[in-house]
């Protein structure tokens, strides 16, 4: 059995116009099957439905297919990230690309189900949000669930560290992400490998994807090393450490101080997920703590972010930041990562937010300015019942309050928020309302209440933050 194909052009030659193509990869620069994507662009195959986490950015990502007007429909967890314009967003807004938003955990589970011969499944992810609109919902043991159908695809394009002629695959570090589930859900799976090795060179216990799920193997012609330009694009997804925002003519807390206060809320011995954007800064203050960090792309036990010169390109968190793997770390795919989250094994989740309201509802994936949006794994993360801390500025850039009586943006989760940390306050969500527990130095509780749309319960004594 020999599944090796001589060129990427030959490997993708029979992908027909109108095909549904799943392309694995994570973040902006990480582990795209770039040789195959470039070959598909050069073939000019049109009217594609692309299934992915996001289209990424730059000349090595599926972004180039949208740029070349080859994508008519996008099924993804992101069409954009707030503050980052994208070709996909432009085409969605112009009616040139259809868009179906699917939370990351639901996306990988739909592909996995297709490969397992399971037609549909019930999930708590998306209950009470626009993702559930038009879908069957059902109570099981008193808990509401949404019915999601399997998502079979025509072709999956994935990248691996090693593959052999039998199609056995080994991934590197935290780079499995969507690849195993995408391969299982496809009628035809094409693997681009950095190294093609003889059959038997990958020990059986090191095979991450058995050859039965793989149809073709081609050697990668594009290196996996991250360039400064690629990492600069990735870092633009992250919230910069900026100067403190001013309220009533005085500065609130800087983002670093907000992250420090949030880090102090974490319990020793807990498993914690940090959302993209500002929450990633919390990781900078956990060096001496007994906290284990979890990321949706498939790593448990990662450490501090590192510079490009010191980095392993296959060690990164869900925000695409290059990190270290601590002693005792483990790697897995996104299916397992979301089993940990939805199954209640993650203790605390820290997410950014556009809005939080008095009922503890969270909105953090779309604004009226977005044609699509970017939910990522947030809906899955809040569905598991973990403690949820929302880290965000007290007001948006227009000065509008973000802690509201009722969210006006599409919801990420219903009644899921436990604590809100802003640059002005620490607020706890309770059955009786929002309790103001701490205020930023230099501000009074009354001033914070005046800058908050939702009513606050103000104790007799409210200490300073940090």
The token pair at 12 is 């993708």
DSSP state letter for 181: H
By CB neighbour count within 10 A (0-12 exposed, 13-18 middle, 19+ buried), where does 155 fall? buried
The token pair at 293 is 């960090």
From 122, 118, 119, 141, select the one nearest 132 (Cα to Cα). 122
Only one residue has tokens 């001589």, namely 6
205 is catalytic: no
The token pair at 424 is 């002005």
- CB contact at 8 A, 189 and 211: no
**Region of residue 109 (phi > 0: left; psi between -120 and 50: alpha; otherwise: beta):** alpha
Q: How far is CA 149 from CA 120, 317, 403, in A?
A: 4, 29, 35
- CB contact at 8 A, 274 and 280: yes
Only one residue has tokens 């206060």, namely 261
Kindly state the helix (H) or strand (E) to which residue 70 belongs, with its residue range. Answer: none
- CB contact at 8 A, 315 and 322: yes
By CB neighbour count within 10 A (0-12 exposed, 13-18 middle, 19+ buried), where does 437 fall? middle
Half-sphere exposure of 397 (CA within 13 A, CB side): 2
- The whole-angstrom separation of Cα 420 and Cα 43 is 50
- CB contact at 8 A, 36 and 11: yes
Only one residue has tokens 């940390």, namely 421
- CB contact at 8 A, 321 and 310: no
Number of Cβ atoms within 10 Å of the Cβ of 328: 8
The dihedral of CA 35, 177, 113, 1: what is its sign? positive
Q: Write down the catalytic residue from 296, 387, 393, 438.
A: 296
The token pair at 28 is 């902006």
What do you get for the CA distance between the two ends of the chain, in Å? 63
Active site residues per annotation: 296
């Amino acid at each position: 059995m020999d599944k090796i194909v001589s060129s990427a052009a030959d490997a993708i030659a029979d992908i027909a116009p109108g095909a549904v193509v799943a392309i694995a990869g994570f973040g902006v620069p990480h582990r795209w099957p770039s040789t195959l994507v470039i070959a598909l662009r050069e073939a000019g195959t049109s009217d594609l439905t692309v299934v992915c986490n996001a289209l990424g950015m730059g000349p090595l990502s599926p972004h180039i297919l949208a740029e070349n007007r080859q994508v008519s429909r996008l099924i993804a967890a992101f069409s954009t990230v707030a503050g980052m314009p994208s070709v996909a967003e432009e085409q969605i807004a112009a009616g040139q690309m259809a868009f179906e938003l699917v939370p990351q955990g639901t996306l990988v589970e739909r592909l996995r189900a297709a490969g397992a011969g399971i037609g549909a499944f019930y999930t708590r992810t998306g209950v009470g949000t626009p993702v559930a609109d038009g879908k069957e919902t059902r109570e099981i043991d008193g808990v509401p669930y949404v019915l999601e159908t399997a998502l079979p695809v025509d072709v999956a394009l994935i990248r691996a560290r090693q593959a052999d002629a039998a199609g056995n695959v080994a991934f590197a570090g935290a780079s499995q992400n969507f690849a195993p589930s995408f391969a299982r859900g496809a009628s035809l799976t094409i693997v681009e490998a950095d190294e093609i090795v003889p059959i038997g060179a990958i020990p059986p216990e090191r095979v991450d994807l058995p050859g039965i799920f793989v149809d073709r193997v081609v050697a990668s012609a594009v290196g996996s090393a991250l360039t400064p330009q690629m990492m600069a694009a990735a870092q633009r997804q992250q919230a910069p450490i900026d100067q403190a925002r001013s309220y009533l003519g005085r500065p609130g807390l800087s983002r670093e101080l907000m992250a420090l206060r949030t880090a102090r809320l974490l319990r020793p011995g807990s498993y914690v997920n940090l959302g993209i954007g500002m929450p990633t800064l919390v990781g900078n203050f956990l060096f001496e703590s007994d906290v284990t960090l979890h990321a949706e792309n498939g790593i448990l036990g990662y450490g501090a972010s590192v510079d490009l010169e010191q980095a392993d390109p296959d060690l990164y968190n869900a925000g695409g930041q290059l990190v270290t793997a601590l002693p005792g770390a483990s790697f897995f795919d996104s299916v397992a990562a979301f089993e940990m989250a939805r199954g209640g094994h993650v203790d605390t989740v820290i997410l950014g937010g556009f809005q939080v309201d008095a009922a503890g509802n969270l909105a953090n994936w779309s604004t009226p300015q977005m044609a699509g949006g970017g939910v990522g794994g947030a809906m899955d993360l809040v569905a598991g019942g973990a403690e949820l801390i929302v880290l965000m500025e007290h007001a948006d850039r227009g000065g509008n309050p973000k802690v509201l009586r009722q969210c006006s943006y599409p919801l990420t989760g219903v009644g899921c928020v436990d604590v809100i940390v802003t640059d002005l306050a620490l607020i706890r969500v309770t059955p009786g309302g929002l309790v103001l527990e701490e205020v930023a130095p230099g501000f009074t509780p009354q001033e914070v209440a005046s800058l908050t749309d939702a009513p606050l319960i103000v104790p007799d004594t409210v200490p300073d933050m940090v």
